[in-house]
Amino acid sequence: MKQKLLALLTKNPRISASSLAKILGTTAAKIEAEIQKLLKSGEIVGFATILNSNGQDEITAMVEVRVTTQRGRGFDEVGERLAKFPEVVNAFLISGSHDLNLLVKGKSLADVANFVNRKVAVLESVTGTTTHFLLKKYKEDGLIFGEKVSDQRLKVSA
Amino acid sequence: MKIPSNKILETIPPSGIRKFFEIVAENPDVISLSVGEPDFDAPWSVREAAIAALENGATHYSANRGSSELRGAIAKYFARKFGVAYSPEKEILVGNGASEIFDLVVRSVLNPGDEVLLFAPSYVMYAPLVALAGGTPIFVQKISEIAKKISPKTKALVFGYPSNPTGATFTKSELTKIAALVERNNLLAISDEIYAELSYETKHISFASLPKMKAQTATISGFSKAFAMTGFRLGYLLAPENLVAAANKIHQYCALCANSISQVAAIEALENCDAEVAKMRAEYKLRRDFCVRELRKMGFTVQKPAGAFYLFPNIRKRTGLSGDDFALNLLKKERVAVVPGSAFGAEFADHIRISYATGLAELETAFERMAHFVQSLK
């Protein structure tokens, strides 16, 4: 049941416990208990809402961060520190030409640029940053923007 | 001038499905559980392959039998999935959907007066196409009835599994019994396996994989159900060399070849879409379990179907209504469309066909409405 429940919640976090109960053939109380358990254990970190903002009232940037690691100070230290800033929406350690990949949000270009200059670039272990401002979103977390869901099938067919 | 008409065609009643379609079409805002095709769109990689095919100029005829690349891919796929090896050069024919293939097969093998045994209820096109090919359809409902209905005129036995409209499939022992009858009576088995990929608990056993059966079987399949490619119109025949040659003779005159763009896309489906198919299968299974539970809660007796995406419950026992009355009233009062069983033959007038090729959220609403309707009949 856990795998099926997680799949259904990932697809639609707003699905009600009673719908889940019907689909999975159990009771709403058991569903609630299972979700609480998964939240508590950290398997479910949270539920997000995806806005079709596309840069109208906020600015998003992908920030590449190059890091030098010293004894006793690994990637985790700087990664965890950067993740604490509310401006940082995603923070990933990745392989390749740079080390950390941040998704940063702000109200204006200046806002984001200031954040990167004053909060990220100044960290002792950060050796360099490259900021890419986001121009347009086509897909986020598996959802395609502007996609119309309409059933094109005949209403009755053999 | 009076337009001349075909005498056999005059005897064929209009499709019950079509009749119901017209009624449903007058009612906008219905949730339709009457659709015989997947609600998923074809996998994006398949659509991308079709776009690339157009860009690369796949705008010409292909070989009558289908492109050799596609026939090769079908042979590999069928051997990999169902363990039966067919020669791409001699034993495979690609056509415009499984329905065209069925038409080609019966026209290739029947002479006027020949009889064809058909399992009922079954897909609505079998009987009319047998009749148009000059044959007489004879219906059986159980394997045990086959022997009694075989006459010297019987040429073929037609069955489709997993079944539209019941979702039922045959077990190994049932298939073995059918195979014995086919062998003993020297019949051609026409096995429609288009729903093979949509088998939930058990692995599909292809009829031709049974001992000695490959030489006596016309296996029909296609891309519509497994890969959600209904609009691509592509099906295929796997059969002995001489039957494929005969069917191809008709195909080359009446259709020439299947759509070339679809043929390119189909290769992508066969070679790279196992994960997509598995995802769809898992979703249908979840829906099937939901539908069975909800119907049982309403007081219907339902067997859990093994495959396809249909349920075919008898609704008379619980409601006292015929399938026609149930479907019409459910449509009018609750705006949910199901197909009356009469569309599959008068013997099934007490049934309805429910298709669960519809998203879970809509299914939930539809079954709430249906429960409300059944409740109101008390």
pLDDT tens readout for residues A36-92: 999 999 999 999 888 877 656 789 999 999 999 877 778 999 999 999 999 999 999
CB B111 within 8 A of CB B130: no
Q: Which of A19, A22, A155 sits opposite B21 (nearest CB)?
A: A155
CA distances A54 to A48, A134, B54, B139, Å, are 17, 9, 33, 61
Gap between the Cα atoms of B172 and B203, Å rounded:
10
Does residue A151 have a pLDDT over 80? yes
Residue B161 per-residue DSSP state: S
Tell how strand B336-337 and strand B310-311 pair up. unpaired
Tell me the pairing of strands B217-222 and B188-192. Answer: parallel
Shortest Cα distance, chain B CAs vs residue A98, angstroms: 31
> Hey, how many other C-beta atoms are within 10 angstroms of the C-beta on B125?
16
Beta strands in B70-152 (DSSP E): 92-95, 115-119, 136-140
Flag whether residue A26 sits within 8 Å of chain B, measured between CB atoms.
Answer: no
Distance (Å, whole) CA A132 – CA A63: 6
Domain annotation for chain B: domains and CATH numbers? 7-41+275-376 (3.90.1150.10), 44-273 (3.40.640.10)
A22–B294 C-beta distance less than 8 A:
yes
Contact B35 A154 (CB under 8 A): yes
What length does chain A have?
158
CA of B267: how far to CAs of B40, B196, B223, B280, B350, in Å? 19, 18, 10, 19, 42
**Which residues of chain A lie closer than 8 angstroms to B17, CB-CB?**
156-158
pLDDT at A142: 86
Which chain B residues are within 8 Å of A3, Cβ to Cβ?
none
The residues pairing with A130 across neighbouring beta strands, listed in sequence order, are A64
| Full DSSP string of B295-348 | HHHTT-------BTTEE--B-HHHHS--HHHHHHHHHHHH-EE-EEGGGG-GGG
Q: How is chain A split into domains, by residue range?
A: 2-41, 59-136
Q: Which of B163, B170, B172, B216 is nearest to B194 (CA)?
A: B163
CATH of domain A2-41: 1.10.10
Provide the pairing of β-strand B339-340 with B352-355: antiparallel
B31: enclosing H helix or E strand: strand B31-32
Buried b (16+ CB within 10 A) or exposed e, A85-110: eebbeebeeeeeebbbebebbbeeee
Cα–Cα distance, B29 to B99 (Å, whole number):
30
| pLDDT one digit per residue (tens) for chain B, 378 residues | 999 999 999 999 888 888 888 889 888 889 999 999 999 999 999 999 999 999 999 999 999 999 999 999 999 999 999 999 999 999 999 999 999 999 999 999 999 999 999 999 999 999 999 999 999 999 999 999 999 999 999 999 999 999 999 999 999 999 999 999 999 999 999 999 999 999 999 999 999 999 999 999 999 999 999 999 999 999 999 999 999 999 999 999 999 999 999 999 999 999 999 999 999 999 999 999 999 999 999 999 999 999 999 999 999 999 999 999 999 999 999 999 999 999 999 999 999 999 999 999 999 999 999 999 999 997
- Distance (Å, whole) CA A39 – CA A32: 11
ipTM of the complex: 0.82
User: Which SS3 state, helix, strand or coil, does residue B222 take?
Assistant: strand
- The pLDDT, as a whole number, for residue A94 is 96
Does the domain formed by A59-136 have CATH 3.10.330.10?
A: no
> Rounded to a whole number, what is the distance in Å from the CA of A155 to chain B's nearest CA?
6
Q: How far apart are CA B91 and CA B243, in angstroms?
A: 8
Distance, in Å, from the CA atom of B215 to the CA atom of B238, rounded to the nearest integer, reads 10
- As a whole number of angstroms, the distance between CA B51 and CA B41 comes to 15
DSSP string, A23-58: HHTS-HHHHHHHHHHHHHHTSS---------TTSS-
**Residue A150 confidence (pLDDT):** 82
Distance from CA of B328 to the nearest CA of A (A): 14
Burial A33-53 (b: 16+ CB within 10 A, else e): ebbeebeeeeebeeeeeeeee
For residue B197, give every residue at least 6 positions away whose Cβ sits within 8 Å of its Cβ, in sequence order, or none: B81, B204, B225, B226, B277, B281
pLDDT tens digit sequence for A108-122: 999 999 999 999 999
- Smallest CA-to-CA distance from B205 within B170, B257, B167 is with B170
Residue B19: its pLDDT value, please? Answer: 82
CA atoms of B299 and B290, how far apart (whole Å): 15
Which residues lie below 8 Å from residue A121, measured CB to CB, with a gap of 6+? A128, A129
Residue A141 has pLDDT above 90, yes or no: no
B39 contacts A19? CB cut-off 8 A: no
C-alpha B62, offset from chain centre: 26
Length of chain B (residues): 378
Tokens 């965890």 appear where? Answer: A80
Among partner residues A4, A25, A156, which is closest to B32 by beta-carbon distance? A156
Which chain A residue's Cα is nearest to B40?
A: A151
Q: How many CB pairs under 8 A join A and B?
A: 53
Q: Is B351 helix (H, G, I), strand (E, B) or coil?
A: strand
Nearest CA in chain B to A1: B286
Q: What is the pLDDT of residue A55?
A: 58
H-type alpha helices, B221-259: 241-254
Beta-carbon contacts of residue B327 (< 8 Å; ≥ 6 apart): B20, B337, B338, B339, B340, B352
pLDDT at A118: 95
- In whole angstroms, what is the distance from residue B200 CA to residue B367 CA? 22
d(CA B290, CA B362): 12
Contact between chains at B35 and A155 (C-beta distance less than 8 A): yes
**Cβ separation B39–A155 shorter than 8 A:** no
The single-letter code of the amino acid at B254 is C
User: Whole-angstrom Cα distance, residue B106 to residue B128?
Assistant: 11
